[in-house]
Each structure stands twice: as C-alpha cells, then as structure tokens.
Amino acid sequence: MKSGDSPGSFSPPGSRGRFGAVYRVLEDAIASHAFPGCAFGVLVGDEVVLHDALGRFTYDDDASVVTPTTVFDLASVTKVMATTAAAMLLAQRGRLDLDSLLGDWLPGFVAGREPSDRARSVKLRHLLAHSSGLPGYVEFFRTVSTPDVLMRACLGLALEAEPGARSEYSDPGFILLGKALESCTGERLDAWVRREVCAPLGLAATGFCPAPGSRSSIPPTEDAGWRNRRIQGEVQDENAWILKGVAGHAGLFSNVPDVLRFAGAVLRAGSATGAGGKVGKKADPAEPRLFDGATVAVFARRQGPEGSSRALGWDTPSEESSSGRRFSPHSIGHLGYSGCSLWIDLDAGLAIALLTNRTWPDRASQLIREVRPAFHDAIRQAL
C-alpha cells in the first residue's frame, strides 16, 4: 500500500483543499455534537489519498486531541474485521461449510428442543446473512453476570421466524457464530484472528481487550450508563463486556491505518478476479494477499430473503444507506454502534473508513445518521 505517506501518517500535501467539503461535513458534525472527534481515511487502489483526524476525545477544551492513528472501539465493525474475516478464511481453506447446521457446531443450540423445532434448521449462512430467525437484540447483561450463563441463555433463544424467511440484524446470531468458529478452530476467536488476520496484514493496532496501560489513549465511548462509570479502552457493548471483551458481535479495537489495510486485502482479492466488475489500479504485488477473489465474490453477494441488503457478514448499499448515493451496487460495508464505519466499493477499487465515538457522553445523539452519507458523498464528489 503506497501513498508517498504510508497509512499511519497524515494525508498527502494539498488534501485539505481537494477534500474541503469533507472537512466541512466533519467539522460541522463536531460543532453540532454528533461526536467529539474522529479519524478518517480513503484508500484508492493501493494509494491512501486521505488520512487525517479532527476534534478531541471529549467535548472538554483540555481533552486529548484525536490523531490519525488513534485507536477506537469498532463495535459492530468487529462483525466484518474479525468474525466474518475468520469465516471467509475458514471457508476458503475448506474447513468451514457455510451450509452446515449451527447445531452441528454448537450442540447446545439444539439440545432439548423438539425434533420439529425450526432452530434445528439454522445454518451458518443464515447467521452471516442475518436471516436465522433469531431476535435482533437481547439485553442478556441485565440478568446474567458470567460468560457461561450468557452463552447458555443465547443458545436457548427461541426463533422468531423460520430460518431464511426474515431479515433481522441479530447480535445474538453473531455471538453464536463467533462461538461456532471457535468450535471449528479449537481456539478463542481473539487468538485466531490475531494470528491469521492481523499478523499477516500487519494490523499492529488491532485486537480485543486493549491493555490497561493503553486505555487512556483510546477515546471514551460513554459516561455512566449501565456500568455507572466512564467507559474508556474497554468494550462499550454490555453483552460483549459480560463475555470478557471477546465476542463475535463486538469487542474489536483498531485505527484507520489498520482498517484501511484490512480493506486493501479485500480490494486486492476483488481485483484479482474482478469480483465486483471494474477495479482501480493494479494492487502492489508486495502487499500480502489474504483472501481469494472467489471468496470475496461469495461473501459480497446479497442473500435472501427478497428486500434484504445483507450479504454474508457484510451489508450492501440500499436506498437509505450510510454509504450515501455514490457507492456502486458492488459495494460492501458495515457500521459500528459507537460511530465507526467501513465501506468498500469493489467496482471503483476504493475504501473509506470513519472512526468516531458518537456515543459520548451518552447514546442520545443520532446525528451520525446524517453525517455518514454526507461524508461519503463528499469524498466521492472530490474523487
């Protein structure tokens, strides 16, 4: 990945002028308290054309300044950079059949259920496509206090619809998917992802459970809340916190350079076989290849039921997408509740990362919904 300035450095000279509208969108967002600070970057082909940061950790005048390499809580971007990435690699290596039954990997999911229970038909593919019939969200943390009890509660959830019949974005589905992948690999999700995803790509700033000594360098996500204290450098998601910070749906921390490196691995695979159609400039052969083009093509393809924007693990642009109006139909991305996002256009050969802590000091503001599409549109217009 080349840029004159490598990821982890500031944008090339003149970027502020070229991307002036982008800066205005983000500066207005900070002024309106959509979030106190952000880091952002744009990858085109193998070139980082924009990489910068604005604002502070909090709205206090003496708060730490966000830098281009500041690490953020990615929240549900974990679903693609960790869990889906693991599923992609395991499927690519022939170790994971996406049409295998969840109950075969996690027998506790079907234990004690009637033979006719529709839970017996849930496949890993359903979990990835958010069409398993599992509920969207369950506040396990209000009634359980240990990982084992939470997992038992999750395994025992009743389905709300037939598998494949309804699209319902499901955190419990990805909690179970993460555990199924651990059953496949025989080790914890964080350890496997660190060795098989982060190490090959050089994602030095990416991982679960930041060390206590590094937490002060991470923007806080919430003040008080259910834990009744400032949440900084530990996962904000309460269910993931009960799971000791390692879960299939949330818990990963990273920065813009690493997010763009991960996106670059997806783009290089897409360019190898034209997974999305047209692509940007030829990838640097010196950059590591993690995914095959065929794998990206499979996981980037929209799944059922009709009307769903979900691919396998990834989302795709829709009429009111956070990606804005200019991403091609051959695009994939994901959002994080804390205010982070990643969108990759396989046709244009580009990726855009935006990391924020929009939940500071609480979760009331929803202005991020207006900021994201405006930010993405401004970048595409500048390009």
pLDDT digit string (tens) for 214-264? 999 999 999 999 999 999 999 999 999 999 999 999 999 999 999 999 999
Which pLDDT value is given to residue 96?
98
Evaluate whether residue 266 is within a structural domain: yes
What is the separation, in whole angstroms, between the first and last Cα of the chain?
18
CA distances 56 to 33, 39, 154, 171, Å, are 12, 10, 37, 30
Residues 178 and 233 both lie in one domain:
no
Residues 252 and 273 both lie in one domain:
yes
Average pLDDT (297-314) is 97
Element (H, E) at 240: helix 238-242
Which pLDDT value is given to residue 289?
87
Domain residue limits at 143:
97-187
Evaluate whether residue 7 is within a structural domain: no
Residues 374 and 265 both lie in one domain:
yes
Of the pLDDT bands very low, low, confident and very high (cuts 50, 70, 90), residue 8 is very low
Identify the CA nearest to 250 among candidates 372, 192, 168, 336: 336
CA distances 316 to 173, 309, 320, Å, are 19, 5, 11
Here the tokens at position 342 are 């990643």
Worst-scoring range by mean pLDDT, 4-18, 128-142, 193-207?
A: 4-18
pTM: 0.94
Q: Alpha-carbon distance 192 to 197, whole Å?
A: 8
Backbone φ, ψ for residue 303 (5° rounding): -110, 175
What percent of the chain is predicted at pLDDT more than 70?
92
Here the tokens at position 354 are 């935006």
Average pLDDT (334-359) is 98
Average pLDDT (297-311) is 96
Q: Alpha-carbon distance 289 to 238, whole Å?
A: 35
Average pLDDT (364-378) is 97
Residue 6 has pLDDT above 80, yes or no: no
Evaluate whether residue 204 is within a structural domain: yes
Q: Which domain-ending residue is among 131, 156, 187? A: 187
Residue 177 has pLDDT above 80, yes or no: yes
**Domain total for the chain?**
2
Identify the CA nearest to 118 among candidates 106, 109, 108: 109
